[in-house]
């Protein structure tokens, strides 16, 4: 914070931002939705339940930084869903989960939210840069059964990589 102080150099620009770029370039592991409760979460409804909301979370472990380029959610029939990021303040609903990625809940089907330089070409809600998640950040998958349903499962899969932590 440089309020009221004459600053010749922007230390954030000179020090932290190049380190974040270096974090991206050191791939220490893959996130590809194959490891339950690490980079994927599944929510299952119970047959006969009505308007029941289930949540599942993925938390970035201590000592790791994740770069996400795709979030894939599969919402089963008779359910709606969305995902939230704890880093985003929800100014509308003041949710402790963070702001939901989609303004409206997702209908049944497979949904792919991309974070890449060409992501916005495919869909307006896609973002043009990887989603950087530092240690402790939480992605929450929320799924609600609409009418009474049979036993169905929805999933959230993260795709990206684990970078080398250089910035706290």
Q: Domain residue spans in the chain?
A: 11-163
Q: Which residues pair with 141 in a beta bridge?
A: 56, 83
pLDDT at 74 over 90: yes
Q: β-strand 29-32 against 153-163: which pairing, if any? A: antiparallel
Does the pLDDT value for residue 38 go beyond 80? yes
pLDDT over 60 (residue 62): yes
Provide the pLDDT for residue 7: 60
- Place 123 in a pLDDT band, splitting at 50, 70 and 90: low
- Is 120 exposed, middle or buried (CB count within 10 Å of its CB: 0-12, 13-18, 19+)? middle
pTM: 0.83
Q: Which residue has the tokens 């307006």?
A: 124
For the record, the structure tokens of 82 come out as 């969305």
Asked whether residue 168 carries a pLDDT value surpassing 90, the answer given is no
Using the predicted structure, report yes or no on whether residue 2 has a pLDDT greater than 70. Answer: no
CA nearest to 46, candidates 156, 154, 152? 152
CB-based burial label for 105 (10 Å; 0-12, 13-18, 19+): middle
The CB density around residue 153, as the number of other CB atoms within 10 Å, is: 12
Residues in the chain: 168
Q: Which residue has the higher pLDDT, 92 or 84?
A: 84
């Amino acid at each position: 914070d440089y309020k009221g102080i004459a600053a010749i150099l922007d230390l954030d620009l000179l020090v932290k931002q190049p380190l974040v770029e270096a974090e991206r370039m050191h791939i220490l592991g893959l996130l590809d939705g194959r490891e339950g409760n690490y980079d994927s979460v599944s929510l299952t409804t119970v047959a006969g339940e009505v308007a029941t909301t289930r949540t599942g979370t993925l938390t970035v472990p201590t000592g790791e930084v994740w770069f996400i380029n795709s979030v894939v959610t599969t919402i089963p029939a008779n359910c709606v869903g969305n995902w939230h990021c704890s880093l985003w303040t929800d100014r509308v609903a003041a949710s402790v989960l963070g702001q939901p990625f989609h303004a409206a809940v997702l209908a049944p089907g497979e949904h792919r939210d991309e974070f890449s330089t060409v992501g916005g070409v495919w869909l307006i809600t896609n973002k043009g840069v990887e989603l950087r998640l530092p240690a402790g950040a939480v992605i929450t998958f929320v799924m609600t059964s609409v009418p009474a349903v049979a036993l169905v499962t929805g999933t959230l899969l993260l795709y990206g990589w684990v970078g080398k932590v250089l910035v706290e």
